[in-house]
Amino acid sequence: MKIGKVVGKVWAERKVESLRGCRLLLVQPTNSHLQAVSKIIVAADPKNTAGVGDLIVYVTSTDAIQAFDHDFVPVNASVVQLIDSID
Amino acid sequence: MFLAKVKNVVTATEKHPAYSAKTVYVVQPVKPDGSAIGDEWVAVDYVGSRIGDTVVCGGAPGVAQEVFKLQRAPIRTLIMVIVDQLDYRDI
């Protein structure tokens, strides 16, 4: 899992059926000092956990699919935590 | 997943059966402002995207096999979203 900051949203009508109604966020991966590291990614937010400006934890690869309740979704990054603080 | 722009079509008559009847593109990863970043990828289209579209690509091990319900699927990168609009703030 990684830390990231939500820096935007993706609006899209035409997408994979299983992503219908699922929020897609632009996430800037950061370190624990909130400095940007590597490239902006797109992460699914099936539980509507976060919004723009929030600090999150996201999970990658096939484990990202586990963030969804229903069937198989071809994602490889999903938000799993809304961070309150890193002390 | 990552944002990308659909650049070229890849046509191949000789290919693994998993690629039959599928559109294969070259995609260039882009930043939210549209500028290119990182290397190009080859991606299998899954939502009817066309050259010039901004899309979201992704894929993890075994995903394509599940999505296309294939016995064997040596496919990693899928185009799964055609972006209509992006909200992005450089914060």
Is B90 domain-assigned? no
Range of the domain at B69: 2-82
Instruction: Specify the pLDDT at position B66.
Output: 86
SS3 call for B80: strand
CB contact under 8 A, A24 and B88: no
Cβ contacts of B57 within 8 Å, gap of 6 or more = B1, B2, B4, B27, B29, B41, B43, B77, B78, B79, B80
- Tally C-beta pairs within 8 A across A and B: 112
Of B29, B83, B89, the CB nearest to A7: B89
Q: How many Å apart are CA A47 and CA A63, to the nearest integer?
A: 15
Instruction: Specify the pLDDT at position A72.
Output: 82
A61-78 tens-digit pLDDT: 989 999 999 778 899 999
Q: How many Å apart are CA B75 and CA A40, to the nearest integer?
A: 23
Instruction: Specify the pLDDT at position B60.
Output: 85
A2-48 tens-digit pLDDT: 999 999 999 999 999 999 999 999 999 999 999 999 999 999 999 99
Is ipTM strictly over 0.95? no
Higher pLDDT, B59 or A82: A82
Q: Are A43 and A23 in contact (CB under 8 A)?
A: no
* Total domains in the fold of chain B: 1
pLDDT (tens, 9 = 90+) of chain B, 91 residues, equals 999 999 999 999 999 999 999 999 999 999 999 999 999 999 999 999 999 999 999 988 888 888 888 888 899 999 999 999 999 988 8
Residue A57 banded pLDDT, cuts 50, 70, 90: very high
Is B40 domain-assigned? yes
CATH number of the domain encompassing residue B12: 2.40.50.220
Provide the pairing of β-strand B54-58 with B85-88.
Answer: unpaired
CB contact under 8 A, A15 and B47: yes
Residue A56 banded pLDDT, cuts 50, 70, 90: very high
Of B32, B46, B67, the CB nearest to A26: B32
CATH number of the A2-82 domain:
2.40.50.220
